[in-house]
Amino acid sequence: MDFGKLRHYIEIQEHTEKRGDSGEVTRGWSTVAAWWASIDPLSGRELQYAQQIHADARVLIRMRPYDGLTPDHRIKFGTRYYNILDVRDMDERGEVSECMCVEVKGG
């Protein structure tokens, strides 16, 4: 992969739960990592692969691997949020991760 194409600064987020003083649980998201990635609309073979996973997949995000990245995480880019549908090792050498994602309105 041409790492010069990693021009989108993203945040990887995971679910959090906080217990308030009165015992109520507040759920949210917190950023666990931030770095550069590429975000591309799906086309051709990538779109065919994405449709096998989930019909609404719209983008492919490529980045250096983040240990433990799963569909339980989400990706934030600016004011946009993406649910991760699938994560795979692009080159089978642990150098590039591909995430099939769908944009979530309203974060």
Query: For the ranges 9-23, 32-46, 48-62, 66-80, which has the lowest average pLDDT?
Result: 48-62
Strands (E), 1-107: 8-19, 25-41, 59-63, 74-77, 80-89, 97-104
Q: What is the pLDDT of residues 9-47, one digit of tens each?
A: 999 999 999 888 888 888 999 999 999 999 988 765 555
The domain segmentation of the chain, as residue ranges, is: 3-104
Mean pLDDT of 63-81: 92
For residue 50, the model assigns a pLDDT of: 58
CATH 2.160.10.10 fits 3-104, yes or no: no
Residue 53 reports pLDDT greater than 80: no
